[in-house]
């Protein structure tokens, strides 16, 4: 899977959050500079962070949320190639100077899909995806009955998962993995899933995210932890990125199709699409 890129999902972003929290919580931002970033909505309001204290490092879905003591919130989205590090490197977009050790946080983003901006706390009008997120999959609000209500749409289940509305933080990698575990075809209309299938998918999502989080996420190409390490879950992927290889459950060949513009991997034997 070398060279393939993917947007960091819940396990990757949560790994980054866990590393940032002891360092940044309580730190004062004494300087904020755009380096090689184009001014615009992706980097708006950084000047409002200067002189403010970071009171926590939170996460919602794939977003990092850092509340400031001014009532503002610093929002970071890694995009496809974003990396946060205390060390300067290439393709730097933002530098925060801190009254902490290490004394600087750098945001590297080769392909410029990430975000690093300050907004009034809770005001996500410029971030509609964040505003519309479903429940956190590892929290108490994600359970089969609630999930079933969120799936009452005719959209393909893979497409609906990628929208972030039925559950937050599940992207291309873990949607494929969870659907394989639950034996659900990615093109199955969400509303056609049985109660048993919904419960199996709910459990599969929780399991694969927890397992990946324990391995510090999945690195395909760009993702790194704050400490510069690659995630270790790639060697445990059951279906994602394995097109042409045998299914680890039944031995049939894994196939790849495109769903919602994303490469999607499934086993045609284990994940059959019922005749309409």
Q: Is 158 a catalytic residue?
A: no
Q: Does 37 lie in the same domain as 123? A: yes
For residues 13-38, give the mean pLDDT.
95
Q: Is 67 a catalytic residue?
A: no
Average pLDDT value for the chain: 95
Q: What percent of the chain has pLDDT over 70?
A: 98
Confidence of residue 1 (pLDDT cuts 50, 70, 90): very low
| Residue 250 in this model has a pLDDT that exceeds 60 | yes
CB 102 within 8 A of CB 86: yes
CATH number of residue 123's parent domain: 3.20.190.10
Q: Is 224 a catalytic residue?
A: no
Residue 273 lies in a domain: no
Q: Which domain holds residue 175?
A: 144-266
Specify the pLDDT at position 3: 37
Q: Does 215 lie in the same domain as 120? A: no
Residue 274 lies in a domain: no
Query: Could you say which of 48, 108, 181, 262 is catalytic?
Result: 262
Confidence of residue 4 (pLDDT cuts 50, 70, 90): low
Q: Does 255 lie in the same domain as 163? A: yes
Residue 271 lies in a domain: no
Q: Does 167 lie in the same domain as 83? A: no
Q: Does 188 lie in the same domain as 210? A: yes
Q: Does 261 lie in the same domain as 222? A: yes
φ and ψ of 271, to 5 deg: -125, 75
Q: Mind giving me the DSSP string for 164-229? A: TSSSSS--HHHHHHHHHHTT--TTSBGGG--HHHHHHHHHHHHHHHHHHHHTT-B-SSS---TTSP
Residue 258 lies in a domain: yes
Q: Does 32 lie in the same domain as 97? A: yes
Confidence of residue 2 (pLDDT cuts 50, 70, 90): very low
Q: Does 239 lie in the same domain as 148? A: yes
Residue 231 lies in a domain: yes
Q: Does 194 lie in the same domain as 107? A: no
Query: Could you say which of 42, 48, 62, 224 is catalytic?
Result: 62
| Residue 266 in this model has a pLDDT that exceeds 70 | yes
For residues 210-217, give the mean pLDDT.
98
Distance of CA 71 to CAs 8, 66, 97, 122, Å? 27, 11, 20, 9
CATH number of residue 214's parent domain: 1.10.8.50
Q: Does 61 lie in the same domain as 39? A: yes
Sign for the CA dihedral angle at 171, 176, 177, 179 comes to: positive
Q: Does 151 lie in the same domain as 116? A: no
Structure-token match 């184009």, residue found:
38
Closest CA to 205 of 241, 180, 232, 233: 180
Q: Does 55 lie in the same domain as 111? A: yes
> Number of structural domains, the chain?
2
Q: Within a 10 A sphere around the Cβ of 4, how many other Cβ atoms? A: 11
Domain boundary residue among 102, 130, 158?
130
Q: Within a 10 A sphere around the Cβ of 50, how many other Cβ atoms? A: 15
Residue 138 lies in a domain: no
Helix, coil or strand: residue 88? coil
Residue 58 lies in a domain: yes
Q: What is the pLDDT of residues 155-188, one digit of tens each?
A: 999 999 999 999 999 999 999 999 999 999 999 9
Q: What percent of the chain has pLDDT over 90?
A: 93
| Residue 64 in this model has a pLDDT that exceeds 70 | yes
In SS3 terms, 226-272 reads as CCCCCCEHHHHCCCCCCCCCECCCCCCECEEEEECCEEEEECCCCCC
Query: Could you say which of 8, 11, 137, 186 is catalytic?
Result: 8
Angle, in degrees to the nearest 10, between helices 10-24 and 195-214: 40
For residues 7-15, give the mean pLDDT.
97
Which is it for strands 262-266 and 115-120: parallel, antiparallel or unpaired? unpaired
Residue 135 lies in a domain: no
Q: Is 12 a catalytic residue?
A: no
For residues 195-224, give the mean pLDDT.
97
Sheet hosting strand 72-77, strand order edge to edge: 58-60, 63-67, 72-77, 115-120
């Amino acid at each position: 899977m070398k060279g393939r890129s993917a947007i960091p999902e819940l396990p990757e972003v949560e790994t980054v959050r866990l590393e940032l929290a002891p360092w940044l919580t309580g730190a004062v931002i004494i300087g904020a500079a755009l380096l090689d970033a184009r001014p615009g909505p992706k980097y708006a309001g950084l000047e409002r962070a200067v002189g403010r204290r970071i009171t926590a490092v939170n996460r919602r879905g794939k977003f990092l949320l850092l509340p400031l003591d001014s009532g503002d919130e610093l929002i970071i989205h890694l995009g496809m190639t974003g990396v946060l590090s205390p060390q300067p490197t290439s393709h730097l977009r933002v530098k925060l100077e801190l009254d902490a050790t290490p004394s600087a946080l750098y945001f590297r983003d080769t392909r410029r899909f990430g975000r690093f901006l300050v907004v009034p706390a809770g005001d996500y009008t410029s971030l509609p995806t964040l505003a519309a997120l479903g429940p956190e999959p590892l929290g108490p609000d994600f359970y089969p009955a609630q999930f079933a209500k969120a799936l009452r749409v005719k959209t393909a289940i893979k497409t609906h998962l990628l929208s972030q509305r039925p559950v937050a933080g599940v992207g291309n990698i873990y949607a494929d993995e969870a659907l394989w575990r639950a034996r659900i075809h990615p093109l199955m209309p969400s509303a056609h899933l049985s109660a048993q299938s919904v419960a199996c998918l709910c459990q599969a999502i929780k399991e694969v995210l927890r397992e990946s989080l324990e391995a510090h996420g999945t690195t395909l190409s760009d993702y790194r932890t704050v400490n510069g390490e690659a995630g270790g879950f790639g060697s445990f992927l059951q279906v994602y990125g394995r097109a042409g290889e045998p299914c680890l459950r039944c031995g049939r060949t894994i196939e790849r199709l495109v769903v919602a513009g994303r490469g999607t991997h499934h086993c045609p034997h284990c994940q059959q699409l019922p005749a309409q």
